[in-house]
Amino acid sequence: MYSSVKDSHGKVIREGDIVHVREYQNTIWGLREEELEKSFGTKDRKEVYDAFTRDDIKGELRDEYDVKVTFEDCCFCMTIIRVQFGNEKVGCAFGMCDNMAEMKDMIPLYDLEIIERPSL
């Protein structure tokens, strides 16, 4: 099965892939409306996000881990199989949305990279 999600190199992610995930802090996410207006001249969060690229708002690296992509209950999921920073996420799964790798208005920001693809 194929998803419509692409990794940071533009490769389509598919079932069975092993993907390296990097989670970054979103530097705009936590700002209150007053802080947005003071820093950017507007309270409109969408307007602020539209003015920047993902790389512009990408803060510090929070975590990184490897996941296996599966298809369960009509949904693509990523199940964590290897953790880099040693945290409690081992074994959890989360859904993949189509534009996950491009989204700016989420926390954390995700960078996805296919590191292993099973043979067909």
pLDDT digits (tens, 9 = 90+) for 21-31: 898 999 988 88
pLDDT grade for 85, boundaries at 50, 70 and 90:
low
Residue extents of the structural domains in the chain = 2-29+57-116
Which pLDDT value is given to residue 2? 67
Q: Is the pTM value of this prediction over 0.85?
A: no
Mean pLDDT calculated for residue range 30-53: 90
Whether the pLDDT of residue 16 is over 60: the answer is yes
Torsion of CA 74, 107, 17, 5, to 10 degrees: 60
pLDDT at 5 (0 to 100): 79
What is the average pLDDT across 51-73?
Answer: 88
Locate the DSSP E strands across 1-120.
2-6, 12-14, 18-26, 58-72, 75-83, 93-95, 109-116
**Confidence band of 7 (pLDDT split at 50, 70, 90):** confident
What is the structure's pLDDT at 35? Answer: 92
Whether the predicted pLDDT of 89 surpasses 60: no
